[in-house]
Amino acid sequence: MSPSLPEALSAVPRHRAFIGLGGNLGDVQARFRAALAGLHGLPGTRVEAVSSLYSTRPVESSGPDYLNAVAALQSALGPRELLHALQALELAHDRERPYQNAPRTLDLDLLSYGGYRCHSAELTLPHPRMMARAFVLAPLAEVMSSLGAPSDVDAAVGQALPDAASRLALAQSQGIERLGPLDWAA
The residues carrying an active-site annotation are 95, 104, 107, 109
Size of the chain, expressed as the number of residues it contains: 186
In 4-106, where do the E strands start and end? 15-23, 45-50, 53-56, 66-75
Q: How far is CA 1 from the centre of its chain?
A: 37
Taking the C-alpha atoms of residue 119 and residue 89, their distance in angstroms, rounded to an integer, is: 23
- Do 35 and 106 contact (CB within 8 A), yes or no? yes
- Do 47 and 186 contact (CB within 8 A), yes or no? yes
Q: How far is CA 32 from the centre of its chain?
A: 11
Q: How far is CA 123 from the centre of its chain?
A: 14
In 3D, which of 65, 47, 57, 66 has the Cα closest to residue 143? 47
Taking the C-alpha atoms of residue 131 and residue 154, their distance in angstroms, rounded to an integer, is: 13
